Homo-oligomer: A and B are copies of this chain.
């Protein structure tokens, strides 16, 4: 197998045991980029020589017998709204063209501490909202890769890098994972630090990770889920033991809730059929999945997220709007302008409603190990003028639950369709265990 197609777990293991060097791995990734990226354009910033220099340092360090972190020598791509001290961070807009932050985001520091090579910065939509960047879907360049973490998902899908980091404020992690056919993980809100990440909407925004296997996501998530006192929503707590919990067999077969959600009607016919098949498959040897309808209170979830997000964009992007409105997209300006009109009482009522919905989800999660639900409305839509609808991610972002995309289905155009697995806020490690069980079940 070409080194660039190795899973991160295997690559890290090979680098540790000396059968592969970080330099060889990074060279393979760069060659793959050279070969395919002309059609995909996943990168906002890539300096091959600097990537190889980092890999060389990692290899030297290993030769000297230094202690090796879990990602030693493994390249990772970083969404271009996450600060890096040694590369530009341009937030997907000309307003930040050439911006070079002076410090790494906390999550980048954690990756460096774990030994990772920061391969480059991956394309984001404009300010991580809706207006697309240049990236195309690796499965078909006429289709969108999804957004806002477009480059992060596409680069992993195309074999250019084994791991990447993105963020989600509505559907920005799980939707691109589904469209590009990779594994994606958005942890519980407040479990990966946002220090040094473009501030959009503090109650919603959550960094997440992409990889080509569930194990790879677990490996990098465990590195990143560390307490950071500088992020005010984080609470001091130990890192979840995702790798070890995931490796356990569930004590009893998990019980899943298939939640079609209030936006089921928006799903494609092909996607609906694929889900029916998936549920039938999981129920083949024993009833593992119930169809569960969310309480009607969830019908307001999309409006609730809209109120919070638009008011937050109006505040956090006030300077960009004031000084550079003519350089922002119409879609973003419209959101900001609506956000400027939101009343504080409505905003705070929305924040409270999100907490109420969360309490209802907790009750569902007492009965079920996880929720299965679509990641997106179907295959990646044709065209590059939109990154597709985040609608199937909205509830889970609003509630801050952990969510995984499992790339287990296909649509009529041969593009991937993902299943989203969700559990109770804070139950990240068990979600991985349930996902592993489900993947095994689907192979039977």
Contacts and interface: CB of A to CB of B under 8 A. Distances in A.
A344 B316 CA distance: 12
A343 B346 CA distance: 9
Copies in the complex: 2
Contact of A315 (B232, B237, B315, B345): B345
Given A235-B236, A236-B236, A236-B237, A343 B345 contact: no
Contacts of A335: none
A311 interface: yes
Interface string A346-362: 11110010010000000
Contacts of A343: 340-344
Contacts of A341: 343
Contacts of A344: 311, 314-315, 339, 342-344, 346-347
A318 B340 contact: no
A235 B343 CA distance: 29
A312 interface: yes
Contacts of A232: 355
B235 A348 contact: no
Q: Which label, helix, strand, loop or mixed, suits the secondary structure of the A interface?
A: helix
A349 B315 contact: yes
Interface string A149-181: 000000000000000000000000000000000
B342 A311 contact: no
Residue with the highest number of chain B CB atoms closer than 10 Å, among A232, A339, A345, A348: A345
Contacts of A342: 343-345
A190 B366 CA distance: 29
B339 A318 contact: no
A406 to B, nearest CB: 31
A347 B345 CA distance: 9
Contacts of A311: 344-345, 348
Contacts of A349: 315
A339 B347 CA distance: 12
Contacts of A314: 344-345
Interface string A318-344: 100000000000000000000111111
Interface of A: 232, 235-237, 311-312, 314-315, 318, 339-349, 352, 355
Given A312-B348, A315-B345, A318-B345, 18 more contacts: A235-B235, A235-B236, A236-B236, A236-B237, A311-B345, A314-B344, A315-B352, A339-B344, A339-B345, A340-B343, A340-B345, A341-B343, A343-B343, A343-B344, A344-B344, A344-B346, A344-B347, A347-B348
